[in-house]
């Protein structure tokens, strides 16, 4: 008789739920998390709560200071700039490794993603647009065969998407993102690494500036803004 599947540790379930709640805006940016409140909300003991908090601190979603407990990370302009600087630098490494390995099948897959992304953008499907943007880059990053670098890229991707859901994009910005992907695809076809790196840097800078501007319009920083639907999003 086969043994049943092993039960998932309680903290893993709590960690997933707490992460989702943070990214959904249930807990405000910069807000303090109280163990007692989390125990009541998730219906578990303190131990899995503490383990989940420790893991999310490692992911950068939570911060901790002695005698102050844990807080949801405060999102300000410096933090956003630092994230984009880090991701842009790592993207250079990944593109340099990935472009020589691109096959015709990979290029075709990227073309299909762009076409599908365009359709989603025209229909105003915000969440789908975010997902297709991820898919495009993940095809490339997978080819780089550098999981540690990709892990750093991925670490803040959900956080950036959460901010985009909260603040949206400037009108027409997602169409520009898709246009950038089309130019990147052409650079890939030519195996032109330098052109691809320039396009990637330009895309990262434009995305950073757009997000910062949306945050300023909404009130200066994510820490002072109320969670809500993506105003102005395509």
pTM here is 0.78
Same fold, 10-72 and 77-224: no
pLDDT of residue 9: 62
- Residue 184 pLDDT greater than 90, yes or no: yes
CB 156 within 8 A of CB 220: no
Stretch 123-137: mean pLDDT: 95
pLDDT of residue 61: 85
Give the domain ranges of the chain.
10-72, 77-224
- First CA to last CA distance, the chain: 54
Q: Does the domain at residues 77-224 carry the CATH identifier 3.40.50.150?
A: no
CATH annotation of 10-72: 1.10.10.10
CB 222 within 8 A of CB 75: yes
Stretch 180-205: mean pLDDT: 97
224: DSSP letter? G
Residues 14-73 have pLDDT tens digits of 988 998 898 888 998 889 999 999 999 999 999 999 999 998 888 788 998 777 789 998
């Amino acid at each position: 008789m086969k043994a049943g599947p092993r039960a998932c540790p309680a903290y893993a379930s709590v960690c997933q739920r707490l992460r989702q709640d943070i990214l959904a805006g249930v807990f405000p940016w910069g807000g303090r998390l109280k163990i007692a409140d989390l125990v009541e909300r998730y219906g578990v003991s303190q131990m899995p709560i503490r383990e989940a908090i420790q893991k999310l601190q490692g992911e950068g979603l939570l911060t901790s200071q002695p005698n102050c407990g844990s807080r949801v990370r405060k999102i300000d302009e410096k933090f956003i700039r630092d994230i984009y600087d880090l991701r842009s630098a790592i993207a250079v490494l990944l593109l340099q490794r990935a472009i020589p390995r691109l096959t015709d099948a990979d290029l075709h897959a990227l073309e299909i993603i762009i076409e599908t992304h365009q359709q989603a953008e025209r229909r105003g499907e915000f969440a789908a647009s975010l997902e297709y943007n991820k898919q495009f880059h993940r095809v490339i990053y997978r080819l780089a065969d550098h999981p540690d670098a990709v892990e750093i890229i991925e670490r803040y991707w959900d956080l950036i998407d959460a901010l985009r859901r909260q603040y949206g994009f400037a009108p027409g910005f997602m169409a520009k993102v898709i246009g950038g992907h089309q130019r990147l695809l052409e650079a890939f076809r030519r195996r032109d690494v330098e052109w691809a790196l320039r396009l990637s840097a330009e895309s990262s800078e434009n995305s950073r500036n757009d997000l910062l501007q949306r945050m300023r319009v909404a009130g200066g920083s994510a820490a002072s803004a109320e969670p809500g639907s993506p105003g102005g999003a395509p």
